[in-house]
């Protein structure tokens, strides 16, 4: 833990890279205290260092967020260091192989659903008692353009991100009387380290290829972070259950 601030306690998952890193830096820059959660210890520590050098406050928790024990460690660390959790950003995620349903292996299906959908559920479940006790909280989930259509990714990723939208809406409805809001962003193509290993001659990628003509401009991670910060802020005090495309209009095509 570095620095000192009286801001909100914010958990950002997948904060070692890309959209999560940009969000962690932006929260810290406005005085929030940030728990940087990531699978990659080197990346997480680098972001904590960067925040500390800029005068902010951050702590890293590393591990696979699809494991309950790691999630418990994230929640316990946030409560111990920040006295609670004001904001949870469920952002960590992995891409699939763009495979069509008939070609998805059990291992790929289980991994993608666990990281992209089960982990956000586990994290929400772990922090909700603290948000409920405080009578306030904001949850922002990073879904995807693939949460809005069938043509942006393979079957596993598409199903996982549609699930994130369902989880977001359930959270929004269930806790609307408890001062807790839940919203999601749906990024279009964004310049990050996320990787796709797709066999372009296979059925899935070949079927998807023609649909990518509508993708629009690839965004910067900071543009996604700005939407996350808005949804987590008091400026969005009446925004609950919203699924916000941040995609240069891809979803409007
Ligand atoms: P990224 O690969 O740059 O960053 C993701 C981070 O999440 C990495 O640091 C990685 O170590 C971490 N992570 C992955 N699995 C984890 C796990 N099991 N436990 C803990 N940490 C884990 O990618 P990104 O593009 O910044 O992705 C962030 C989110 O944005 C993801 O949910 C992704 O699906 C979503 N998204 C990205 C794009 C895009 O074009 N980049 C588009 C739509 C949605």
- In angstroms, the Cα distances linking 233 to 36, 141, 170, 190, 236 are 19, 14, 20, 23, 6
* Per-residue model confidence (pLDDT) at position 190: 98
* Per-residue model confidence (pLDDT) at position 65: 98
Residue nearest to atom 24 of ligand 1 (CA): 18
Q: 177 C-alpha vs ligand 1 centroid, how far in Å?
A: 31
Cβ 190 under 6 angstroms from ligand 1: yes
pTM of the shown model:
0.97
**Domain coordinates in residue numbering, the chain:** 9-242
For residue range 141-196, what is the model confidence (pLDDT) as tens digits? 999 999 999 999 999 999 999 999 999 999 999 999 999 999 999 999 999 999 88
- Residue 6's pLDDT band (cuts 50, 70, 90): low
* pLDDT higher than 80, residue 1: no
For residue range 88-126, what is the model confidence (pLDDT) as tens digits? 999 999 999 999 999 999 999 999 999 999 999 999 999
The catalytic residues are 157
Q: 170 C-alpha vs ligand 1 centroid, how far in Å?
A: 23
Mean pLDDT score, 27-49: 98
For every residue of 51-102, DSSP letters joined together read HHHTT-EEEEEES-TTSHHHHHHHHHHHHHHHSS-SEEEE----------GG
Question: Would you say 95 and 157 are in contact if contact means Cβ atoms under 8 Å apart?
Answer: yes
- The fold adopted by the segment(s) 9-242 is Rossmann fold (3.40.50)
């Amino acid at each position: 833990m570095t620095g000192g601030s009286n801001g909100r306690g914010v958990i950002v998952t997948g904060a070692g890279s890309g959209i999560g890193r940009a969000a962690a830096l932006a929260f810290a820059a406005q005085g929030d205290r940030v728990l940087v959660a990531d699978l990659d210890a080197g990346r997480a520590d680098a972001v904590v260092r960067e925040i500390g050098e800029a005068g902010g406050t951050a702590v890293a928790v590393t591990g696979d967020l699809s494991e309950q024990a790691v999630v418990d460690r994230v929640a316990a660390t946030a409560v111990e260091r920040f006295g609670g959790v004001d904001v949870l950003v469920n952002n960590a995620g992995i891409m699939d192989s763009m495979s069509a349903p008939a070609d998805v292996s059990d291992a790929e299906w289980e991994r993608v659903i666990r990281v992209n959908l089960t982990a956000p559920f586990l994290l929400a479940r772990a922090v909700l008692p603290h948000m409920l006790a405080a009578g306030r909280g904001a949850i922002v989930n990073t879904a995807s353009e693939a949460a809005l259509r069938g043509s942006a990714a393979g079957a596993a990723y598409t199903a996982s991100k549609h699930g994130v939208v369902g989880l977001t809406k359930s959270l929004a409805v269930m806790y609307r009387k408890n001062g807790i809001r839940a919203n999601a962003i749906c990024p279009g193509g964004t310049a990050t380290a996320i990787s796709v290993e797709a066999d372009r001659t296979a059925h899935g990628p070949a079927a998807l290829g023609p649909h990518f003509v509508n993708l629009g401009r690839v965004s910067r991670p900071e543009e996604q972070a700005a939407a996350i910060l808005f949804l987590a802020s008091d400026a969005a005090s009446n925004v609950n259950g919203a699924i916000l495309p941040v995609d240069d209009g891809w979803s409007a095509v």
